Amino acid sequence: MRIDVGNGLDFIGDIHACYDEFLELLSKLGYQKNDNGLYTHPNGRKIVSLGDVMSRGPESIKCMMFFLEHVKAGLAYMIDSNHGWKIARWLDGRKVQLRHGDENVEIEFMEYEKKYGKQKTETLKKKFKTLLMESPSHYIFTQNNKDKVVCTHAGIKDEYIGKENSQIKNFCRYGDVSGMDETGKPIRKDWFKEHKGDLLIIWGHDPKPEPLIVNNTINIDQGVVFGGKLTAYRYPEQEFIFVEAAKNYSGREIDNPITKH
């Protein structure tokens, strides 16, 4: 899970099927579509998704297709995430309840099947399943063989970095969750307050109106699907680039994580 920073990285927060905003962000970052339909950067930069590329928003299949093709071509990286894991298990035929926007993915697949037929749909589902199941809980990016940046979906403890087991995978997917509150929402503990040292941790999952910077950790989920914005964090430039959401796609008006603050 160690990768050299190379010619620079563009970390992208939770896209949640907001494909238009994602393409706009790529264009702002200087990526261009080549003759094979792939987005490349003239300086050889690469895209790093923090997961949750699908669900809630309008175009899950397009977003998953993007990462399927770009990860395969070595142009992007994507890590595991809570929605990603749920969809992976659903695609694997396991019994899961599709909610919190995951049901939109099923609807998209039904429409896809009507348009392209059963065989093509099954092939695509299988490819998505493999991509999602094989995504690691986190990546460590290095410069001159020194660990510089870690990316994870919902959080990580310092002692987990560089290791992988089912407990670590769950922590990275859901964060430090200690039960549910009376409305059934997870009670989240602030794992990032415990982070020590120079290693930069970039994470998403928990939408904040602006990037939250604490102890060398940065949350770059600015809730594009809730009508917020999609964030890119450029490394090593340490620069934020944003695209505003065209609308609030989530349908959530009350208790919206972006507007309630």
Give the separation between CA 232 and CA 230, rounded to whole angstroms: 7
**Residue 182: both structure tokens together:** 């009376």
**Contact range with Mn ion by CB under 5 A, out of 23-31, 133-141, 202-210, 244-252:** 202-210
Instruction: State which residue, 205 or 229, has the beta carbon closest to Mn ion.
Output: 205
Q: How many angstroms separate the CA atoms of 187 and 120, rounded?
A: 41
Residue 84 in contact with residue 128, Cβ under 8 Å?
no
Cβ proximity to Mn ion: between 13 and 227 the closer is: 13
24: enclosing H helix or E strand: helix 19-29
205 sits near Mn ion (criterion: CB under 5 A): yes
Please work out the total of residues on this chain that contact Mn ion, with binding judged by CB under 5 A: 3
How far apart are CB 84 and Mn ion at their closest, in Å?
8
CA distance 94 to 127: 16
Q: To the nearest whole angstrom, how small is the minimum distance from the Cβ of residue 16 to Mn ion?
A: 8
Q: Which residue is nearest to Mn ion (CB)?
A: 205
> Taking Cα atoms as reference points, which of 199, 238, 246, 237 lies closest to residue 220?
238
Sign of CA dihedral 101, 102, 106, 111: positive
Single residue of 40, 49, 55, 82 touching Mn ion by CB under 5 A: 82
CA distance 60 to 48: 17
Please report how close the Cβ of residue 9 comes to Mn ion at its closest, in angstroms: 20
Q: How far is the CB of 121 from Mn ion (least distance, A)?
A: 25
Least Å from the CB of residue 14 to Mn ion: 6
Out of 52, 59, 102, 108, the only residue in the binding site for Mn ion (CB under 5 A) is 52
Six-digit token string for 173 = 């997917």
Least distance (Å) between residue 33 CB and Mn ion:
28
Q: Which is nearer to Mn ion, 13 or 31 (CB)?
A: 13
Beta strand segments in 190-228, E: 200-203, 212-214, 217-219
Whichever of 117 and 251 has its CB closer to Mn ion, that residue is: 251
For 33, the enclosing helix (H) or strand (E) is strand 32-33
Stretch that binds Mn ion, among 26-34, 139-147, 199-207, 229-237 (CB under 5 A): 199-207
Does residue 16 touch Mn ion according to CB under 5 A?
no
Binding site for Mn ion (CB under 5 A): 52, 82, 205
